[in-house]
Chains A and B, each alone.
Chain A
Amino acid sequence: DAKTTQPPSMDCAEGRAANLPCNHSTISGNEYVYWYRQIHSQGPQYIIHGLKNNETNEMASLIITEDRKSSTLILPHATLRDTAVYYCIVRAHLPSSGTYKYIFGTGTRLKVLA
């Protein structure tokens, strides 16, 4: 299974950009990278996903390196409500059903400071 590696924790000042890195050096060529976050005692919340090109939505931007071995999630103006654990996720194919399961790592605990 492809694995992801993230720093265990980061701090960010409120209003500043939060840049969360992820290493996924074993990702296969046609696999997407997904980012979710989990606020304490809630289920994971989808943020963004990408394959090769950089992506942006109303929540965040995703920068994927050209070799696809790493990516960075950018929260452009972090607020206190962005304090959460952020997971960088790749999928693993389940051959018997043709579906995929998410492979979560241990994530990055982001604390936004007032």
Chain B
Amino acid sequence: DTGVSQNPRHKITKRGQNVTFRCDPISEHNRLYWYRQTLGQGPEFLTYFQNEAQLEKSRLLSDRFSAERPKGSFSTLEIQRTEQGDSAMYLCASRPQFGLLDTTDTQYFGPGTRLTVL
């Protein structure tokens, strides 16, 4: 399977604990996005990487959140001191760099990591 993969698929933690999620994008996709989806809502943008550089961060990404993509391949999203409001599905998406004639922006999503904070 050459799609976007995310691990773990499910994470249950107690309030106050730290958690880390991993995303492996499609090979050769240099653009990577993180989104958060709460129950009954559509996904909301969190952050964007181009290769290893984190170029965008949403207001939703509080100081307790940090994301990295150290070698421009896989990415990690860490939440410190989790709160019950952090319970959500965390989705990763990737896409290749535009070709010269391609101005579209199809993002390919992984299966997500569902976080439950007790």
Contact = CB atoms under 8 A, between A and B. Distances in A.
How many B residues are at the interface, by size bracket? 20 to 34
Contacts of A41: 112, 114
A54 B43 CA distance: 26
Given A104-B44, A106-B40, A96 B56 contact: yes
Given A87-B42, A96-B56, A105-B42, A42 B48 contact: no
B91 A97 contact: no
B73 interface: no
Contact of A43 (B55, B56, B91, B106): B91
A17 to B, nearest CB: 24
Given A87-B42, A97-B55, A43 B4 contact: yes
Contacts of B43: 44, 102, 104
Nearest to A45: B109
Nearest to B45: A101
Interface in B59-118: 91, 93, 104-112, 114
Interface residues of A, number: 24
B3 to A, nearest CB: 9
A113 to B, nearest CB: 22
Interface in A29-83: 32, 34, 36, 41-46, 49
Given A101-B56, A104-B43, A105-B42, A94 B48 contact: yes
Contacts of A42: 111-112
B41 A99 contact: no
Interface string B16-58: 0000000000000001010100001111110010100001101
Interface of A: 32, 34, 36, 41-46, 49, 87, 91, 94, 96-97, 99-107
